[in-house]
Amino acid sequence: DIQMTQSPSTLSASVGDRVTVTCRASQSISSWLAWYQQKPGKAPNLLIYKASSLESGVPSRFSGSGFGTEFTLTISSLQPDDFGTYYCQQYHSYSFTFGQGTKVEIK
């Protein structure tokens, strides 16, 4: 099974800060990597797919990069509404694995 490891587990940042979350795969997944945001009590929401493609309706301050085993999610200027937990997911073929999540708090 492919394992996904996110870091950090928690981060606290101020409005306007640039925020980066990292996701590492235990083996190459090409670009089959998605990022989701989940707010408390809500279902996850797709932000990024194919490592760097922005889902329709997602603000352009969100971006993704990476290939193979190393990926990053960047929020260029953190906004109050960006609090929540972010998950990466590999989705190659019929195997799906999520990272353990990164909780983003607004200072």
Partner 1 sequence: EVQLEQSGAEVKKPGESLKISCKGSGYSFTNYWIAWVRQMPGKGLEWMGIIYPGDSDTRYSPSFQGHVTISADKSISTAYLQWSSVKASDTAMYYCARRQVYSSSWHPFDYWGQGTLVTVSS
Q: How far is Cα of residue 15 from the mean position of the Cα atoms in its chain?
A: 18
The yes or no reply on residue 86 touching partner 1 (CB under 8 A) is: no
| Closest to partner 1 by CB, 1 or 14 | 1
Burial of 25 (0-12, 13-18, 19+ CB in 10 A): buried
| Closest to partner 1 by CB, 53 or 77 | 53
- Residues in the site for partner 1, rule: CB under 8 A? 1, 32, 34, 36, 38, 43-46, 49-50, 55, 87, 89, 91-94, 96-101
